[in-house]
Amino acid sequence: MNKTTKFADLILPLPLAQLFTYSIPEELKADVAIGKRVVVPFGRTKFYTGIVKNIHNNPPEDYATKEIISCLDESPLITSLQLCFWDWISQYYQCTLGDVFKAALPSGLKLESQSKISANENFQTKISLTKTEEQILNVLQHSKDVNISTLNQATGLKNTLPQVKSLLEKGAISIQEQIVSSYKEKTKEWVRLSSDFSESEMSLFINQLKRAKKQQEMLLSYLNLSKHYFEENANKVSVDELLQSVGSAKGILKSLAEKNILEIYSEKIDRIDLSQTETSGLKELNKYQQEAISEIKTSFEEKNCVLLHGVTSSGKTEIYIHLIHEQLQEGKQVLYLLPEIALTTQIINRLKSVFGNKVGIYHSKFNDAERVEIYNNIHQNNSKNAYQIILGVRSSVFLPFNNLGLIIVDEEHENTYKQFDPAPRYHARDASLYLANLHGAKTLLGTATPAIETYYNAKSGKYGLVELFHRHQDIEMPEIIIADVKEARRKKRMKSIFSPELIQMIEICLENKEQIILFQNRRGYSPYLECKSCGWVPHCPNCSVSLTYHRYNNQLVCHYCAHSIHPPTVCEQCGSTEIEDRGFGTEKIEEELMSFFPDAKIGRMDLDTTRKKMAYEKLIYKFENRELDILVGTQMVSKGLDFDNVSLVGVLNADSMLNYPDYRAYERSFQMMAQVSGRAGRNKKRGKVLIQTYTPDHPIIKNVIENDYYSMYSEQLAERKEYIYPPYFRLINICLKHKNQTVVNQAASVLAKSLRKVFGIRIFGPQSPVISRIQNFHIVNILLKIEKKSSPSKAKWILNQHANHLKSMDQFKSILINFDVDPM
Ligand code: ADP
Ligand code: ZN
Ligand code: ZN
């Protein structure tokens, strides 16, 4: 860098719009460069890691600059492509570069005064440390809850950050975030012989077990499965496998263990990290898939983005795998995006079995150290162990790719691709298109149920469109049967929450040893309690929602702020003691199933049962392994799972989705029902789907029955046009929050009035959202709808001006205002 350059503009992890100019001291002039991290003081006591955005010679006019303390990187950590990407995110989604910085880097790479640090217990002291590093490590080993500020005090050093960084790299310490275990820990129980018995000893055992036929049978089966006396290397036999082979209970195995013949041991299995490098090769594509892939390639010659609209189980994933393979051969990187809940071990294993260690996973359940590792791995792309494929969630768009060839956005219609809170409120699918353009790469969007906007873009020629209407092996789409709940109630034929049709179909499936998935878009036991005599419903004191009843811990819980109380026994309004639960969630379905089908093995998959480490993986594994007959769940069960023995899917209450007050409710209901139906009959036999509803003639239900995406799309599109919504108009939501309801209402009406002077009838509101108070903040929204062809950047600039003006008024300075561009 130029020796005369004196100043650097930095991005700091703060929600402030501007860049911050610092001066570069003489001794750092050779080091500081664009994209590197530097440490700077901020205010009196704080300091931050900042990213160098520009370097120049112009002193700021209105403040005296402070000096950069140190430079953390030898080469830029943030590439110039990434900085362009950050700029785009911040401009398009109307947030600060600081917000983007915070979202883009794992904590371990953005140390700040408040980052919590701790010593690693199993650090190898063989690695050499400097004196100061040792001093710091010593402090950390003897105290808890240390952050960099307290560390500075404890060591008497002015700034320990460079040492902290170096200790991090040496693996001596870590930065804490919520440490959620990664996939790695999974144990499995195995069986082996208690010692190395000779063949004659073994025959003796077998003989002795003459009277314990079941034990004898099990032992023989073990010998058979393990091939112990037949082959050099005996096969490993799992407990499950052995029990299944003879159809007996674990008690029998325990008896054999007590006799010291067999032994049960457990071993960690690493289902994700298949350390073997041998890979299973590509599957040959069927003729429809071959056609689709060649259409995709032709389409890519003209278009940067192609939508692959393929029915569930048509083998979209196989097509992706072939495309990835081609990219790798050209030495390109691939980003494969999945929504959070669809990133399961199933898909990970499928990719790993083809691409082995070239696949890196980026998941929000990974702890920070792992995320830093992946970040660094991609950053040092030239090394031999570099990942070439990243399978990841939303935030993986921020990884430092340098050579992307293809981005795949699977289940592109999923709304979890959009970050809701905090800023940047970006949509990973839409951001992917920009990211791909920066790299000269292509984007493939895939789904069975495209978002209306996406399909519109494909139909209007902005994207390519490739459609795949055949399931692999031409398995028929499931048969969809409707149960009219209203009619059944009238005739008093409902069995609790189940229609007679559903009960009967479950019975048949259980008899045939086929599996069942039941879907209800609500967790908990019942959505609310209600006083039978006056209709009083217990509400959350902090939010404007009713409390959901959870039976397992007998609590009423707020799903927005987690506030929880014991259910009241007396009505607060009229004193009646008759308080009943209303509606039903997954927990109640599970309980009711147990009473109707006491012999069935039932599992439940929702937010409440999957909080613990590995719980989600365990449930999937058990279901795959047929240790469960019925899986009850929320939308978690609808995403991308591939079970081959599911012949029935039940949707317990279609109406709750259809009646949701949102312009996307019909689109979402269709997507949800079509996706969950897609879990049925994925192998050989045609599956069945039963939908319970009060409105069997609803047009969306009809579309689902006929598997008619196109009609749903056309009808929705007409409505969108009539009511001025996307894809015809662009929406920007302006959200105002304050603890005082009067203040927020006043502020919103002042702002709406001033915006109306500019935008006229394009301004809607102010209006309260369905849930108008969360954690004691009152919320009011103003919605701007602008024509697709008008300049969004100009509109955004005007919005900012008006919001800043509002906040400059004394009575409104504590109002929180945020923008949500393309809200979901
Ligand atoms: P989608 O992603 O469209 O839902 P998948 O790729 O999961 O479909 O395919 C459904 C099932 O069919 C999977 O179990 C997959 O392994 C299998 N399958 C799809 N295409 C092929 C193929 N060409 N050869 C062998 N198996 C295939
Ligand atoms: Zn009452
Ligand atoms: Zn609440």
Query: pLDDT tens across 448-492, in order?
Result: 999 999 999 999 999 999 999 998 888 888 899 999 999 998 999
In this model, does residue 775 exceed pLDDT 70?
Answer: yes
The answer to whether the CB of 642 is under 6 A from ligand 1 is: yes
- CA 537 vs. chain centroid, Å, equals 33
The predicted model gives 256-280 an average pLDDT of: 66
The enclosing H or E element of 289 equals helix 287-302
The predicted model gives 138-150 an average pLDDT of: 79
Which of 194-203, 344-353, 621-630 reaches the highest mean pLDDT? 621-630
Q: Is 630 helix (H, G, I), strand (E, B) or coil?
A: strand
Could you read off the pLDDT of 672-721 as tens digits, one per residue? 999 888 888 777 778 899 999 999 999 999 999 999 999 999 999 999 99
Could you read off the pLDDT of 418-434 as tens digits, one per residue? 998 899 999 999 999 99
Name the band, by pLDDT with cuts 50, 70 and 90, for residue 808: very high
Among the bound ligands, name the one nearest to the CA of residue 410: 1
799 or 525, greater pLDDT? 799
Predicted local confidence at residue 64, as pLDDT: 84
Q: Whose CA is nearest to atom 26 of ligand 1?
A: 283
Atom in ligand 1 nearest the alpha carbon of residue 640: 4
Cα(286) to centroid(ligand 1), Å: 10
- The encoded tokens of residue 723 equal 């009511």
The predicted model gives 645-667 an average pLDDT of: 88
Report the relative pairing of strands 305-310 and 464-468 from DSSP bridges: parallel
Cis before residue 422, ω within 30 degrees of 0?
yes
407 beta partners: 335, 443
Predicted local confidence at residue 186, as pLDDT: 44
Nearest to 550 by CA among 616, 615, 622, 604: 604
Cα(491) to centroid(ligand 2), Å: 30
Cα(347) to centroid(ligand 3), Å: 35
In this model, does residue 114 exceed pLDDT 70?
Answer: no
Residue 178, φ and ψ in degrees, nearest 5: -65, 115
Cα(683) to centroid(ligand 1), Å: 10
Predicted local confidence at residue 74, as pLDDT: 86
Lowest mean pLDDT among 155-159, 654-658, 701-705: 155-159
**Sheet (strand 564-565) strand order:** 548-550, 555-557, 564-565
The answer to whether the CB of 313 is under 6 A from ligand 1 is: yes
Nearest to 477 by CA among 687, 318, 315: 687
Cα(447) to centroid(ligand 1), Å: 14
Q: Whose CA is nearest to atom 9 of ligand 1?
A: 315
Euclidean distance between CA atoms 442 and 394, whole angstroms = 18
Cis before residue 424, ω within 30 degrees of 0?
yes
Among the bound ligands, name the one nearest to the CA of residue 546: 3
The answer to whether the CB of 677 is under 6 A from ligand 1 is: no
Name the band, by pLDDT with cuts 50, 70 and 90, for residue 275: very low
| Residue in this structure with the two tokens 């969950």, named with its chain if needed | 676
In this model, does residue 4 exceed pLDDT 70?
Answer: no
Atom in ligand 1 nearest the alpha carbon of residue 317: 6
Euclidean distance between CA atoms 410 and 182, whole angstroms = 22
In this model, does residue 163 exceed pLDDT 70?
Answer: yes
Among the bound ligands, name the one nearest to the CA of residue 571: 2
The answer to whether the CB of 762 is under 6 A from ligand 1 is: no
Cα(531) to centroid(ligand 2), Å: 5
DSSP 414: -
Cα(527) to centroid(ligand 2), Å: 18
Cα(454) to centroid(ligand 2), Å: 49
The predicted model gives 385-404 an average pLDDT of: 92
Atom in ligand 1 nearest the alpha carbon of residue 320: 6
Euclidean distance between CA atoms 515 and 501, whole angstroms = 17
Could you read off the pLDDT of 9-23 as tens digits, one per residue? 999 988 787 899 999
**Sign of the dihedral through C-alpha 467, 342, 415, 588:** positive
List CB contacts of 479: < 8 A, sequence separation 6 or more: 686, 687, 688, 689
Euclidean distance between CA atoms 465 and 307, whole angstroms = 5
Cα(725) to centroid(ligand 1), Å: 36
Euclidean distance between CA atoms 606 and 90, whole angstroms = 34
Could you read off the pLDDT of 593-647 as tens digits, one per residue? 999 999 999 999 988 888 776 788 888 888 988 999 999 998 888 776 778 889 9
- Contact between 338 and 316 under an 8 Å Cβ cutoff? The reply is no
Atom in ligand 1 nearest the alpha carbon of residue 310: 3
Predicted local confidence at residue 3, as pLDDT: 52
Name the band, by pLDDT with cuts 50, 70 and 90, for residue 36: very high
Euclidean distance between CA atoms 575 and 559, whole angstroms = 26
In this model, does residue 271 exceed pLDDT 60?
Answer: no
The answer to whether the CB of 312 is under 6 A from ligand 1 is: yes
Could you read off the pLDDT of 293-343 as tens digits, one per residue? 999 999 999 999 999 999 988 999 999 999 999 999 999 999 999 997 777
In this model, does residue 782 exceed pLDDT 90?
Answer: yes
Say if pTM beats, i.e. exceeds, 0.85: no
The answer to whether the CB of 315 is under 6 A from ligand 1 is: yes
The predicted model gives 759-784 an average pLDDT of: 90
Euclidean distance between CA atoms 788 and 809, whole angstroms = 33
The predicted model gives 814-820 an average pLDDT of: 93
Q: What angle do CA 308, 313, 319 make, to 5 degrees?
A: 45
Among the bound ligands, name the one nearest to the CA of residue 642: 1
Predicted local confidence at residue 232, as pLDDT: 65
In this model, does residue 185 exceed pLDDT 60?
Answer: no
Instruction: Put residue 681 in one of left, alpha, beta given phi > 0 → left and psi -120 to 50 → alpha.
Output: left
Atom in ligand 1 nearest the alpha carbon of residue 448: 3
Could you read off the pLDDT of 546-583 as tens digits, one per residue? 888 888 888 898 887 788 899 999 999 899 998 888 88
Cα(610) to centroid(ligand 3), Å: 21
- Contact between 626 and 595 under an 8 Å Cβ cutoff? The reply is no
Cα(741) to centroid(ligand 1), Å: 53
Cα(573) to centroid(ligand 2), Å: 5
- Distances 750 to 755, 756, 770 between C-alpha atoms, Å: 9, 10, 22
Cα(280) to centroid(ligand 1), Å: 15
Q: What are the b/e assignments for 32-66, b being 16+ CB within 10 Å?
A: bbbbbbbbbbbeeeebbbbbbbebeeeeeeeeebe
Predicted local confidence at residue 112, as pLDDT: 66
Among the bound ligands, name the one nearest to the CA of residue 280: 1
The answer to whether the CB of 70 is under 6 A from ligand 1 is: no
DSSP 128: -
Cα(336) to centroid(ligand 3), Å: 36
Predicted local confidence at residue 187, as pLDDT: 59
- The 3-state secondary structure of 546-559, one letter per residue: ECEEECCCCEEECC
Name the band, by pLDDT with cuts 50, 70 and 90, for residue 393: very high
The answer to whether the CB of 377 is under 6 A from ligand 1 is: no
Predicted local confidence at residue 182, as pLDDT: 30
Cis before residue 400, ω within 30 degrees of 0?
no
The answer to whether the CB of 472 is under 6 A from ligand 1 is: yes
Q: Whose CA is nearest to atom 19 of ligand 1?
A: 315
- Contact between 732 and 802 under an 8 Å Cβ cutoff? The reply is no
User: Ligand 1 pocket check: which of 642, 676, 679, 682 to mutate, most ligand atoms within 8 Å of Cβ?
Assistant: 642
Among the bound ligands, name the one nearest to the CA of residue 771: 3
User: Ligand 1 pocket check: which of 282, 288, 312, 317 to mutate, most ligand atoms within 8 Å of Cβ?
Assistant: 317
User: Ligand 1 pocket check: which of 472, 477, 639, 675 to mutate, most ligand atoms within 8 Å of Cβ?
Assistant: 472
Predicted local confidence at residue 179, as pLDDT: 30
Q: Whose CA is nearest to atom 14 of ligand 1?
A: 642
Mean pLDDT of the chain: 87
Predicted local confidence at residue 279, as pLDDT: 63
Q: Is 418 helix (H, G, I), strand (E, B) or coil?
A: strand
